[in-house]
A and B are shown apart, each in its own frame.
Chain A
Amino acid sequence: NAGVMQNPRHLVRRRGQEARLRCSPMKGHSHVYWYRQLPEEGLKFMVYLQKENIIDESGMPKERFSAEFPKEGPSILRIQQVVRGDSAAYFCASSPGDTIYFGEGSWLTVV
């Protein structure tokens, strides 16, 4: 039973470029979450999605960040015009309803 799959695992972007992070939830899970772990900080909730719907985006920065979970294909977290402060580990998680399982993360480095 495959876990939550994230790619790429490591991504390097220059300031001003776009970063796209992909996530496939565990089989049978219809809830997807994105969390961010900044250096020396804890994990912070960003967004909660179900297929074709954003349910809660209260943790998303107001600008440059967007997320989607289309009917077909993986969930995408998109960061436009990246800045150095976006360097972090981005974790996707999925849930069958009551518990949340995390992927291995995507480490974004902005140079």
Chain B
Amino acid sequence: QKEVEQDPGPLSVPEGAIVSLNCTYSNSAFQYFMWYRQYSRKGPELLMYTYSSGNKEDGRFTAQVDKSSKYISLFIRDSQPSDSATYLCAMSGVVRKLIFGQGTELSVKP
């Protein structure tokens, strides 16, 4: 079993839809949780960072961490075609050694 599980998709939604992306994990020591967006042939771009449990909102993006269920989510409201990318969850017990999910490929259709 992988330490971090992420549905690879692909996920296709119409413009304006609410997108829900999820990861589950098995290591209860994880306390740093991040979401990255990666466009083709580009580096991962940090979207959201959460320490321990709770919710965090930044514009159209909301990150949720439920440590009791070992489950994290990223919600994208009013999705745009420019949001089409691969979304990577990442987490760690210490910052330096992020464990990444496989990534979910998202396509937002105009």
Interface residues of A (CB under 8 A from B): 4, 6, 31, 33, 35, 41-45, 48, 55-56, 58-59, 91, 95, 97-105, 107
Interface string of B88-110 (1 = CB under 8 A from A): 10100001111111110000000
Number of interface residues of B (CB under 8 A): 22
Q: Are A100 and B41 in contact (CB under 8 A)?
A: no
CA A97 – CA B33 in complex, angstroms? 14
Q: A45-B97, A45-B99 are in contact. List 11 more A-B contacts (CB 8 A).
A: A42-B100, A43-B88, A43-B90, A43-B98, A45-B96, A59-B97, A98-B95, A100-B95, A100-B96, A102-B36, A102-B43
Instruction: Please report whether the interface of chain A is mostly helix, strand, loop or mixed according to DSSP.
Output: strand
* Residues in A neighbouring B98, C-beta threshold 8 A: 35, 43, 45, 100
Q: Are B88 and A91 in contact (CB under 8 A)?
A: no
CA A67 – CA B44 in complex, angstroms? 21
Q: How many A-B residue pairs have CB under 8 A?
A: 59
Q: Are A99 and B95 in contact (CB under 8 A)?
A: yes
Q: Are B43 and A42 in contact (CB under 8 A)?
A: no
A41, A99, A103: most-surrounded residue (chain B CB, <10 A): A99
Q: Are B49 and A99 in contact (CB under 8 A)?
A: yes
CA A92 – CA B42 in complex, angstroms? 12
